[in-house]
Amino acid sequence: MQFKRDDEIIRQGEQGNAFYILYEGELDIVKDGAKIGDIKASSSHESAMYFGEKALLKSDVRAATVKVVSSTAKVLTLDREKFNNLLGSLENLMARSDAQKGPKILRKDLTKIGLLGCGGFGTVELYEHTQTGSTYAMKALSKGYIVKTGMQESVMNEKFILMMTNSDIIKLHETYNGSQSLYFLLECALGGELYATYNRKGLHGSEKHCKYYVAGTTFAFEHLHERNVIYRDLKPENLLLTEKGHIKLTDMGLAKFVIGKTYTTCGTPDYFAPELISSTGHTKAIDWWTLGVLIFELMSGHPPFESAYPMQIYTKVMKGINKVTIPPKCGGTTGELIKALLKSEPGERLPMKTNGSELLKTHKFFSGFDWGKMKSLQVEPPYKPVVKSKKDLANFCARKEDMPKQLEYHDNGTGWDKDF
């Protein structure tokens, strides 16, 4: 917006619900008729100043008037509702900022302990901070592969989303930009992947375990959806256990900030929703579909639409859950919840209706489950992994021979990674 001399952008005593960024011009701050300060910004010097930010916390009267004293002033404005839609509440951002305060963790102060996992783009390794003894998971992504597959925007998006989130999601501590790789320094969860844990311990079919892990995933989805982020990659491999047995969602590589619909086809075929297959566009409803698939898999030992080839999976998905033979462990209230989530019409999925995820929490499947205690980590995890120390890699089985080969990266001068 452009203002002219003597325009009042904010008036003392009025109700405020927006904050402002001045990127060109000069403003005076006036309280009770007396000047108490000024704000200046110049586009030529690439400077900008913000003001009125307290209105993002609560509706309150303005404490002072902000008046244009230059011939013109260029100002950006964002109200509380739009700010919350884009970034989440300012309270949450402030809480996250407070939680992240402390000395910066330098890459040179980290010592590698061992391999946690491998993927097509890179590796996840356990590192120890030499000064504090704390351990972290370092996710390294090859720049060569990122550029070759055109994933530059996706990787930058992953960093942005991790900076926005906390709660039941693996926490981001630092990022580093190397000559050949980009690095995410993440919270480590040494209890291992849920997928490996279920197979190793034979937990399939346990309603107690299923409720606990689905509840944790529900909290993670709520946290993301409040920030207009769709996860899109739920599977047991992307759920990690902490040393105490708490569940954490990991890997934001396919997560995306979306208002409205998005049309990118991505994810794991066994977890594809109908709208993904038909390319009609998808919303956060796709995550609730994947939660239904997860419940089925945790209870039965296999996903509902499982087939040898992706096209066969897609055919089954389009026919719907009612054409699937339901195993005994997925019957009763469990089956009712699965079917309430695996609705072909996105808007009909249980958490997409009025009252949202509260309908899921009050479903008969969760009868007697204490969501309040679960949220405050007071529910005893149904399985506590054996973790002997913060350097214990025993719950992971990645091998060095599985590590992807480096694809040499040559800087093309576009600066795509400058903000990493």
Q: What are phi and psi of 21, to 5 degrees?
A: -125, 120
The helix/strand/coil state of 79 is strand
CA–CA separation, 205 and 301 (whole Å): 7
Q: How far is Cα 31 from Cα 181, in angstroms, rounded to an integer?
A: 52
Q: Is 6 a catalytic residue?
A: no
The alpha carbon of residue 202 and the mean position of all alpha carbons in its chain are separated, in whole angstroms, by 29
Amino acid identity for residue 45 in this structure: H
Compute CA 33 distance to the chain's CA centroid, rounded to the nearest angstrom.
47
Backbone CA torsion sign across 139, 103, 165, 392 = positive
For residue 314, count other CB atoms closer than 10 A to its CB: 18
Determine the length of the chain.
420
Active site residue: 168, 233, 251, 287, which one?
233
Q: b vs e for 78-101, b when ≥16 Cβ sit within 10 Å of the residue's Cβ?
A: bebeebbeebbebebbeebeeeee
Active site residues: 233
